[in-house]
A and B are shown apart, each in its own frame.
Chain A
């Protein structure tokens, strides 16, 4: 029950800059996710907040208290580790009691809290077992229980769902989100799975090579990626990006793909730079069976039905284009098709820096 604030926090391991100076604020009761590929510094960030690593520079605040130099035990946080880190020599009950014993709570209260958590997480029948006698999903719930039992100021979760099988992971995603909202405890969540981040978070910080690329609500990050990398990282299949030139034709500005000059898009902004990158999400491309003016012709490479829709990869002059479409009649492999983009769904990025141009 506290906000968390980072002010210019950085971390270097020897010559390796794991985290560049980062400032951000997570508000009370928020579900905040650090998203990024492995090695992007997201786990380092979490460990810095936990106090398991000492920052090279910067200050960390929990609530109004500066905790930068506090030991982990004095920060009153709870952490869920990727491999759960349950104490193998203790029963589930002892695992749950362990953080409470550190606080020297009276025995009766410890008992009561354990009962309550066990009820909430359906652990009641497992209390006298040891971790190795539990399934992966049960271990995960115990780890979660150990975090919530002490009613901490914030939860830190390091890829807590990544060791579960796909079905359970999706189920737990919902459970976890619900639990967090019920408890109203600030949560820092680390994952490399963008779907997880998108579905669970209030806000997401996308990290790459130790630097925050963008920080915002899932919708914002999806709709308005701040640069090409975020655009490509978030969303499956990834965004299609072409190099393009802008030219004035009559009264309008038109963007033309360099590799396929026949393709033209109306520019969403009045004065684009002469050379730029155009990004289009797979679901914003339409497939036509008959030739159309300004359309990009291509040959179907592979079709992957995923149930309600299909992912179609198409070879074009502009490279392999991914399209996500709910087509009634799927094109055949090697069929020639014509692609157009939905108006108003283009993302423009600067050619050199990859930064977003326009709204």
Chain B
């Protein structure tokens, strides 16, 4: 359209950009500065070294990466599997779309609470089921056993986010042309071959999007883990976002806390830049 009035367009986006600049970008820049200081003195990269050297017995980076890798990969596989299973079953799909997104849309703290309740060693329904099914493990301390806590937290996160992956893959599936599959069927390709050589390559963009969004949100995870373990036991689930929170609020170590936040930012961006560039190309540069 002949909407060339430059002033009008710029004026319309200005408020949104202003809000972002004041509330997000400026504090972020400020955080970067803070991360180089300690009690008003310039300390260079000291806080970053502290985080990476792991002088602490705590390993927030390791925990975060482990949590992210486990949660993202599991939810991707599950979500993809369910989506493929549901493809072409319209009625089931409608049901899934309206109902199965529930874990993803409820407040994460609510989902976490439900799991915390179910995973309770004494009164939890999960241990009861296992006993009922005859699993001879007795009372499992899902959240207070340091060896199990991370797995339990991942389980909860996977439960919350698998619907997201499924929705993205389903959307991708629906946008796929039917002809390659028909051609493969006529060529007599086996189901496995079709999956590997036709379906996966065609779905790659959707899977990439799901993977990257999942990664971004897993890296920043706070609420779910906070409700379930608060980073414990013995720091087994202590992740980066908690390492922003705890030093700041408990020990007023503002600089260190800012450094951790900045590392999270960098981590997020290294992992998502390809997607951002792609999104940008498709949705902005096209115009």
Closest residue of chain A to B2 (Cβ to Cβ) is A53
Collect the chain B residues with CB atoms within 8 Å of residue A54's CB: 2, 4
Q: How many A-B residue pairs have CB under 8 A?
A: 6
Q: Mark A294-335, 1 if CB is under 8 A from B, else 0.
A: 000000000000000000000000000000000000000000
Collect the chain A residues with CB atoms within 8 Å of residue B1's CB: 52
B237 to chain A, nearest CB (A): 51
The SS class assigned to the B binding surface is loop
Bound: A54/B3 CA distance, A: 10
B26 to chain A, nearest CB (A): 36
B67 to chain A, nearest CB (A): 47
Bound: A47/B3 CA distance, A: 13
Bound: A44/B1 CA distance, A: 11
How many interface residues does chain B have, given as a range? under 10
Q: Mark A16-55, 1 if CB is under 8 A from B, else 0.
A: 0000000000000000000000000000000100001110
B87 to chain A, nearest CB (A): 28
Collect the chain A residues with CB atoms within 8 Å of residue B2's CB: 47, 52-54
A57 to chain B, nearest CB (A): 16
Collect the chain B residues with CB atoms within 8 Å of residue A53's CB: 2
Q: List which B164-213 residues lie within 8 A (CB) of chain A.
A: none
Q: Mark B1-30, 1 if CB is under 8 A from A, else 0.
A: 110100000000000000000000000000
B28 to chain A, nearest CB (A): 37
Q: List which A230-269 residues lie within 8 A (CB) of chain B.
A: none
Q: List which A46-69 residues lie within 8 A (CB) of chain B.
A: 47, 52-54
B6 to chain A, nearest CB (A): 14
Q: Mark B46-76, 1 if CB is under 8 A from A, else 0.
A: 0000000000000000000000000000000
Bound: A47/B4 CA distance, A: 15
Bound: A103/B2 CA distance, A: 24
B179 to chain A, nearest CB (A): 26
Q: Mark B257-278, 1 if CB is under 8 A from A, else 0.
A: 0000000000000000000000
Bound: A329/B4 CA distance, A: 62
Collect the chain A residues with CB atoms within 8 Å of residue B4's CB: 54
B287 to chain A, nearest CB (A): 14
B119 to chain A, nearest CB (A): 50
B1 to chain A, nearest CB (A): 7
Bound: A53/B3 CA distance, A: 9
Bound: A39/B76 CA distance, A: 47
Closest residue of chain B to A72 (Cβ to Cβ) is B2
Bound: A52/B2 CA distance, A: 6
Bound: A47/B1 CA distance, A: 10
Closest residue of chain B to A52 (Cβ to Cβ) is B2
B8 to chain A, nearest CB (A): 14
Bound: A52/B3 CA distance, A: 9
For the complex of A and B, the 6 pairs showing the least CB-CB separation, nearest first, are A53-B2, A52-B2, A54-B2, A52-B1, A47-B2, A54-B4
Q: Could you list 6 A-B pairs, sorted by A, with CB under 8 Å?
A: A47-B2, A52-B1, A52-B2, A53-B2, A54-B2, A54-B4
